[in-house]
Every structure is written in C-alpha cells, then in structure tokens.
Amino acid sequence: MRRRKILFVATVLAVCAGIAPLVVAAHVAETRALRAEQDSLAANARRAMRGANLNLQQAEQGLRAIEKERWQGCSPGHIARMRQLAVDNPVIDEVGYYRNGRLVCTSWGTVETLVLYGTPDQIRPGGFALFASVKPQVSGAGAVAVLSHRSHNVLIARERLVDVLTNRPITLGIATKEGRLIAAAGAVDAGIFHQIVTGVTEGADDNRLFVAVHDNQLVAFAIADRASFLGRIDQERLALLPIALLVSMMLIGLIAWAARLRLSPDHALAVAIRKRELVAHYQPIMDLASGRCVGAEALIRWPLRDGAHAMPDLFIPLAEKTGLIAALTDLMIERVVEDLSPMLNADRSVHVGINIAAEDFDSGRFLPVLAQALERSGIQPAQIWIEAVERGFINTPAARRTVETARAAGHLVAIDDFGTGYSNLSLLEALPLDGLKIDKSFIDAIGRNAATSVVTPHIIEMAHSLGITIVAEGVETEAQATYLRDAGVQFAQGWLYSPALPADAFMSFHHQCNGGVPPSTLRSVA
C-alpha cells in the first residue's frame, strides 16, 4: 500500500513537474512579449510626442516672426508675406489674418466668406491658441489643426503631427490634455481613447494594446492589435522552451530520486522506526527440569502492510549499516518495558532477554537508556538479561567495560548464538559472563552423525566448568530436550515449546504453562 501510494504521488508530481515549467514558461513568454510590446509602443508614443511638439514649436516660431512685423490690413505685401511663410516653414500649410474676430485674408488672398475666430481647444504657453480640428471654409480642404497668436493663425496638416516612421502597422495619435483628439494615424476606439485622456498610461482589451505618454499640454498614444505581437510571443516561447525543458527534466529527476529514496529499504526502516511500527515478540524460555516458563527472549518484528513481517536477518544488518541500530535498540527497550511492565512487576521471577547489537554493546550507549526506562517502569534490572552476539565481544577491553557496568547495575549478561562466531574458551574466561546461549545449529546436530554433533558436549562442559548458565536455542524435538536435560543444561527455547509470541499471547502462555506458580529465577539457578 505504501509503495503504491509513493508511486502514485511520484507519478502525479512528475506529471506536474513536466507540465508546470512549460506552463510557467508560456506565461512568462506572454508576459515578456506583452512588456516588450508595451515598451515598443511607449517608444513610438514618445517619438510622436517629440514630433508633435517640434512641429508646434516651428509653427509658433513662424507666428512670432510675422507678428513682430506688425502687418496691418491685407495689402498685397502682407498676403505675399503670409504666402512666403507658408512656403518657407515646413510645418505651415496656410496662414490667415484676423481683424475684429473675423478672418479677412489668407496666404491665398482676401476672404469674402464670413469666418469667425471661435473658441480654442487649448491655450498653450506664450498665449498660443490651439484648435484641435478645424475644417477650412475657404479652401474646403480636410480638417486641420490650427495654431493662432494674436491676429494671425496657421493651418497644420494633422497627419504631419503623427508622421512617425514605424517598423509595423500601429495607430499613433496626439490629443490635448483636456481630451480633444488632434491627430491620429488610424482608427481610435472610443473606449480606449477615454482611458487615455483620463490618465491611464497603458492597458489592453480583447483586441488591442495601448500605451500613452503625457506632458503638460499633450497626450501621445500608440495602439496595436493583439495579433501584432503574437510573433513576439512565439519568439519568447522558443527562447524559454529549452530552459523549461531543462527545469522539467531536473524536477522529474529529483522526484524520481526522492521516490527511489523513499522506496529504499533503509528509508522505509527509518520511517518505521520513527513511527514506532516495529513491535516485539517474545519466545518463551523453559526450565528443562520443571517444564515451567521462566522468561523470554525479546525479538524485534517489522510488520508490513500486507500482513507479512520483514525478516530480522535482513533489516537488522541494514540498520547496522545505515546507522539506525541505536534507534532500533532504543525502540526495542521501549517496547519491552511497555509490553511487559505489568507482568514483570507482578512476578519478579520472570526475566526478559534483550538482544544488543555489536556496535551498541561495544560503546555501552544503551545502558543509560535502559536504566531510565527501568526506573520509570519499576522493573528490576535483574529481570532484564542483556544478550549480545559473539562479534560484540571482539573488542575485549570495551566488551569488558560494558559487561562489568551492566552487571554492576544488576543485569545478567549472556553471549547469544554461541559457537557461530569468534568465541573460544579464552574469551569466556576473560569476561565475567552469566549466561551462554547455544546456537540452534548445534542443537540440530544432536542425535545425528554430523560434524558439529561432537561440539555440543564440549560447549556444555566448558560452560559448566566456568559456572555459566546455559540456554539451548532452537529446540524442536523431545529427544533434543531429553539430551540437554540429561547433560545438565538448565534452560531451552524453541518451537518444541512455542514460537515467538506477541506480548499478550506470551503472558497467556506463561500463565497457562506455570499454572499461576512463579518459577525459579535464572539467577538462582545460576
């Protein structure tokens, strides 16, 4: 279940990791393209503003010049001068002269038609009056912009005010800050124009983008169709695509690595220890002489989600290899105290053996942990046997310190799986051990013509000579039990009596086996 969940989550994350950078890249590409488009429109709008101001300034210069000459009436010389100004000034198309608010002559000659001065759209610095859009009544030409100063005015072609060279089709326009359109190179949407003259500097609708720039007198703006920057979006997407793909691959690789890590046995074991998923089972230890249950060996079990159990032969070496063995030992101590504290407090004759890994036994780190747990629970140290495999005794000086400290605290210390490692008589003589547990492989050889069958009697004899209590492991037949009993072995454990049991089942077994009568303790036998 956990594996499927991890794979499902990893797959979902991998899909998201593959898609998300591409989506983000597409969004960034559109944002960058929009920003670039708006920057381009702003640049064109600023150019239009500069051009419009330059044209108006040139027109103002012409008006100042002719006003300084103080012409009166519409003499041939006056008309000729206005005509010359229209020819010499590249901005001015026509010059007119007003008297008493009425146009009386232009650079084309005298005017018979009644043309009044009117109300200007804007008064510019220096007293210049700007009429944004005027249809000449004399020439009948299209609407023009008119700039007036005192008694003269000039007509300016509106398209000249927005005559800016661009690299693509856009709409450029000039308006007064009061909101009157002066000139536009293209159609101007009324809604967009309203936003522009009310102070909005950039924006967009479903079809168009616009940017506006303002000065004290004018507003210049540039408008482009959205379709015009689709090519820019494609360019940005192509530029960002390799980066997005690289990020996607990196994220997918990271997710795959994380999933593989979470699926690895060492990570699974670390999670199981952290979540306290491992439990203790207890294999009863029997008094061969009386047939009573005197205690148990605590064995760690790792229940899996499918109901099976991970093999200790696999995960204990893994814990030692990955540095989890200390946490595993601490959890085992915690489990034993939690499981059997009521039983051990009620019956002081019962003992439980806890296996200690070689690394922990070498350092003795577990002893303070065990002492604190026992102090809180009320369990006596004599009820906890400390068992270590033979390789835990290789470093004899360190092993001696641990053994002596443990025994001084009241614990019994036994060597587990004796005969499978490096033990010999000199090692047993060098360490003050209380118990010796004969490995199952030697028990299996009893009654058989096997090479190891001759070793078992020597192990028993050696233990007797040193006064060490013996526990036979893996007893499966009555013949084995009889042989061991006759040889003076005090205790045995194995499937002949019971497999390792959960705590509740072990306590029931102990009660039924003993008929409620406490057996003798191992220490008393020893």
Give tens-digit pLDDT for 144-170: 999 999 999 999 999 999 988 887 888
The alpha carbon of 462 is separated from its chain's Cα centroid by a whole number of angstroms, namely 62
Using a cut of 0.85, tell me whether the model's pTM lies above it: no
Gap between the Cα atoms of 150 and 138, Å rounded:
20
Ranges of residues in the chain with a pLDDT under 70 are 1-3, 139-140, 262-263, 391-392, 394-395, 419-426, 449-453, 516-526
Gap between the Cα atoms of 354 and 357, Å rounded:
10
* CATH fold of 279-525: TIM Barrel (3.20.20)
Q: Around Cβ 27, how many Cβ atoms within 10 Å?
A: 11
Confidence (pLDDT) at 320: 87
Helix (H, G, I), strand (E, B) or coil at 204: strand
- How does DSSP classify residue 489? -
Confidence (pLDDT) at 504: 95
Q: In what side-by-side order are the strands of the sheet with 109-110?
A: 109-110, 102-106, 94-99, 152-156, 144-149, 128-134, 122-124
Gap between the Cα atoms of 15 and 291, Å rounded:
64
Specify the amino acid at residue 153.
N
Which candidate, 471, 518, 523, places its Cα nearest to that of 296? 471
Q: In what side-by-side order are the strands of the sheet with 202-204?
A: 181-185, 171-176, 218-225, 208-214, 202-204
Helix (H, G, I), strand (E, B) or coil at 155: strand
Tokens 């009596």 found at: 497
Beta bridge partners of 130: 122, 147
Domain boundaries of the chain, sorted by first residue: 1-263, 279-525
Contact 366, 333 (CB under 8 A): yes
Contact 490, 292 (CB under 8 A): no
Q: Which long-range contacts (CB under 8 A, 24 or more apart) does 187-193 make?
A: 188/223, 189/223, 192/223
Residues 432-471 pLDDT 10s? 899 999 989 889 888 776 555 678 888 899 889 889 999 9
Helix (H, G, I), strand (E, B) or coil at 222: strand
Which candidate, 176, 143, 148, places its Cα nearest to that of 160? 143
Q: Around Cβ 486, how many Cβ atoms within 10 Å?
A: 9
Confidence (pLDDT) at 515: 74
Contact 83, 107 (CB under 8 A): yes
Gap between the Cα atoms of 242 and 214, Å rounded:
40
Gap between the Cα atoms of 376 and 373, Å rounded:
5
Helix (H, G, I), strand (E, B) or coil at 36: helix
Gap between the Cα atoms of 201 and 73, Å rounded:
47
DSSP per-residue codes, 401-413: HHHHHHHHTT-EE
Confidence (pLDDT) at 390: 72
Gap between the Cα atoms of 265 and 314, Å rounded:
10
Which candidate, 507, 504, 501, 499, places its Cα nearest to that of 473? 499
Q: Around Cβ 269, how many Cβ atoms within 10 Å?
A: 23
- How does DSSP classify residue 126? T
Contact 507, 290 (CB under 8 A): no
* Helix, strand, coil tally for the chain in percent (to 5): 50, 20, 30
Contact 89, 121 (CB under 8 A): no
Q: Which two tokens stand for residue 477?
A: 């037949």
Specify the amino acid at residue 45.
A
Q: Which two tokens stand for residue 183?
A: 């000139």
Gap between the Cα atoms of 437 and 469, Å rounded:
8
Which candidate, 206, 319, 328, places its Cα nearest to that of 267? 319
Gap between the Cα atoms of 26 and 240, Å rounded:
8
